[in-house]
Amino acid sequence: MRKILLVSHCIINPHSKARGLARREKIEASRMFLEELLKDPDLGIVQLQCPEMLYAGLGRRPASRSLYDNPDFKKVCREIAEQVVKLVKEYEKEGVKTIAYIGVEGSPSCGVQWTHFKDDKAEKGTGVFTEV
């Protein structure tokens, strides 16, 4: 069965992370994760656009969800999400199943189960993009 994974941008390209967050051990963990995924010849990986990079640029500082929880950023997230939905529908038309979205835990935009709402403390909840 042909299938795809939707993957947050920085998992494939750690240089897109906020300043100071592309640590060597995380880069290595991402590389090993991707190598394992690529062993499946029926699996395609779709790299999603980074909403934080599109909104705040490449040289942005690390931030909490409270900074990104605003109408302008949500608009960027909705635009990306709309493109992703079109893409997924196109794949499905051709018999390719979307099996998962892989976000980045702790991310103010792509967190799936936990994020940083106001400070450095992680809390249960999703990032803005994941929520949209």
Number of independent structural domains in the chain: 1
pLDDT of 23 reads: 78
Structural domain boundaries, residue 94: 3-131
pTM of the model: 0.89
pLDDT of 122 reads: 80
Residue 10 contacts residue 17 (beta carbons within 8 Å): yes
pLDDT of 20 reads: 80
> Residue 72 carries which side chain, given as an amino acid letter?
D
pLDDT of 45 reads: 96
Give me the residue label for tokens 């103010």.
108
Residues 51 and 110: their CA atoms lie apart, in Å, by 9
pLDDT of 22 reads: 75
pLDDT of 76 reads: 98
* 106-122 pLDDT, tens digit each: 899 999 998 888 767 78
pLDDT of 118 reads: 77
Low-confidence ranges of the chain (pLDDT < 50): none
